[in-house]
């Protein structure tokens, strides 16, 4: 039975053992760690886009926030390209990419960084979202994946 919030694999990676669902590593961990499905080297000032194979579901009054793992950021200079990534509830199962979480890392350090399959590379948490009221016209329903709510922008 599907709960109120959780993780699933997208259909293209079901049965592929390189993809793991996120998990908290201790009883009192606030965030869920994400595991790399790939081996890669990120050169200094280089970037790596990771298709996690994971989609995330949660209530409409929440969002899922991705953050750099503190050890990677402070010790290795590995950060999320957009610093904090925000996933909206309507991103789940969208027609553009099935709601797959895609994370881009940047190596701000001076040395190449090696990421191995199974390494924890970012973390995320579910958080309540509060809105001002009354809200205005929202526009269309989400029809795509990453960046789809900004379709009329040059960004």
Candidates 128, 146, 124, 127; CA nearest to 68 is: 124
- Give every CB contact of residue 4 below 8 A, 6+ residues apart in sequence: 58, 59
Q: Is the dihedral of CA 15, 17, 23, 26 positive or negative?
A: positive
Separation between Cα atoms, residue 105 and residue 48, nearest integer Å: 5
Prediction pTM value: 0.86
Question: What is the topology classification, in CATH, of domain 1-13+35-129?
Answer: Deoxyuridine 5'-Triphosphate Nucleotidohydrolase; Chain A (2.70.40)
Tell me if 57 sits within 8 A of 5, measured CB to CB.
Answer: yes
Q: Is the dihedral of CA 122, 50, 5, 67 positive or negative?
A: positive
The domain limits of the chain are 1-13+35-129
Backbone angles phi, psi at 71, to 5 degrees: -65, -40
**pLDDT, position 1:** 47
Tell me the per-residue pLDDT of 1-28, one tens digit each, with 9 for 90 and over: 478 999 999 999 999 999 999 999 999 9
Confidence of residue 139 (pLDDT cuts 50, 70, 90): low
Tell me the per-residue pLDDT of 57-84, one tens digit each, with 9 for 90 and over: 999 999 999 999 999 999 999 999 999 9
**pLDDT, position 133:** 79
Separation between Cα atoms, residue 112 and residue 108, nearest integer Å: 10
């Amino acid at each position: 039975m599907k709960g109120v919030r959780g993780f699933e694999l997208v259909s293209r990676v079901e049965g592929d053992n390189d993809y793991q669902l996120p998990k908290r590593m201790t009883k009192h961990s606030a965030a869920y760690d994400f595991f790399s499905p790939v081996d890669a080297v990120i050169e200094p000032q280089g970037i790596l886009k990771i298709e996690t194979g994971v989609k995330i579901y949660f209530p409409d009054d929440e969002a899922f926030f991705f953050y750099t793992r503190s050890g990677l950021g402070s010790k290795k200079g590995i950060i999320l390209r957009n610093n904090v990534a925000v996933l909206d509830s309507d991103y789940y199962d969208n027609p553009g990419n099935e709601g797959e979480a895609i994370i881009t890392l940047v190596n701000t350090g001076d040395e190449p960084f090696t990421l191995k399959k199974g390494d924890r590379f970012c973390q995320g948490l579910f958080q309540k979202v509060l809105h001002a009221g009354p809200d205005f016209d929202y526009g269309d329903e989400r029809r795509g994946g990453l960046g789809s709510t900004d379709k009329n922008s040059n960004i």
